[in-house]
Amino acid sequence: MTVRKRIVITGASSGLGEGMARQFAARGRDLALCARRTDRLDALAVELREAHGVRVLTQALDVTDHSRVFEVFQGFREEFGTIDRIVVNAGLGKGQPVGTGRFDANKQTLETNLVAGLAQAEAAMEIFRDQRAGHLVFVSSFTALRGFPKNLTAYAASKAGLATLAEGIRAELTGTPIKVTTLLPGYIDSEMTARAARRNPLQVGAEAGAVAMVKAVEREPAKAFVPTFPWLPLSVVVRLAPASLLRRFA
């Protein structure tokens, strides 16, 4: 297993990004964290430096400001010298049922999760191609497997697009020192899931979810469902399920 010592995480001020940052810091990894909420980001950086003695860089970043994505990633590389892993994590779960007058929310969801995901991939791959090495990680979603109803429709579409983007990059780079991983998390406690009308009975705690994600990332697989149970066996069921059954996940 390759030890990736310098890791960039977008959307690191809360949720899955914050959880992964804590887990990587506990493993002694230096971090470059970016998000819109710099007060939370800077507080996290101080905590991780004091607790683990790691180097933590921070930058304000709204990933929908595409030119800024390139600036921030390149700035991190200049400060670290080398970037070993970039985690495309920043995302939005703001979708609404299609045709209910909330095109704005659905458009914002796709722009943040997919178009801004592409911007992050482009910026990351420029660095990795130049270095001839690196690990690009996409945080997609279990919902990328199918089209889901109601508030998940636009979100699932954006995450499916992100997973397909990852697959295409991975296909090109197979056999090279640049690795590409797609994470497909199930329901994990976060600010996003907290806004749901009801808690999914299969939902796991934030720390357990972050531990599972980091363990998966460290293996550098092509694709990983996290946590593995129940989401890997459920992936088989969901792929074959009738559309009526998908309503239970929404």
Q: Annotated catalytic sites, by residue?
A: 155
SS3 assignment for the chain = CCCCCEEEEECCCCHHHHHHHHHHHHCCCEEEEEECCHHHHHHHHHHHHHHHCCCEEEEECCCCCHHHHHHHHHHHHHHHCCCCEEEECCCCCCCCCCCCCCHHHHHHHHHHHHHHHHHHHHHHHHHHHHHCCEEEEEECCHHHHCCCCHHHHHHHHHHHHHHHHHHHHHHHHCCCCEEEEEEEECCECCHHHHCCCCCCCCCECHHHHHHHHHHHHHHCCCEEEECHHHHHHHHHHHHHCCHHHHHHHC
